[in-house]
Structure 1
């Protein structure tokens, strides 16, 4: 059986603020130690608009 973990609210907050600060997706992936596809899916699922990721929406899911 495989195991997985959910990202914490603090990690999701980083996913929100790091791109605004100029960090690339690859840098975020390395910093948080998640797969690129995991971060990408989380960003796509939890956007308020086409460009704005929301950690509050992500927390509620």
Structure 2
């Protein structure tokens, strides 16, 4: 697959963990090619319903 096309069809998750401040942040970025399939609302629901609960179980502060 062409590397440029692979970037357009990708989802990137960013996990920022700050143990001293007891703070965590999760961000999801969707490639241009998937914006029609995974719009912002669906990505937000994915974070709230799946990733946040799992992340809290795995890495409680």
When normalised by structure 2's length, the TM-score is: 0.33
Larger Rg: 2
Specify which structure has the higher proportion of strand.
2
Specify which structure has the higher proportion of helix.
1
Q: Which has the higher contact order (CA 8 A, sep 6+)?
A: 1
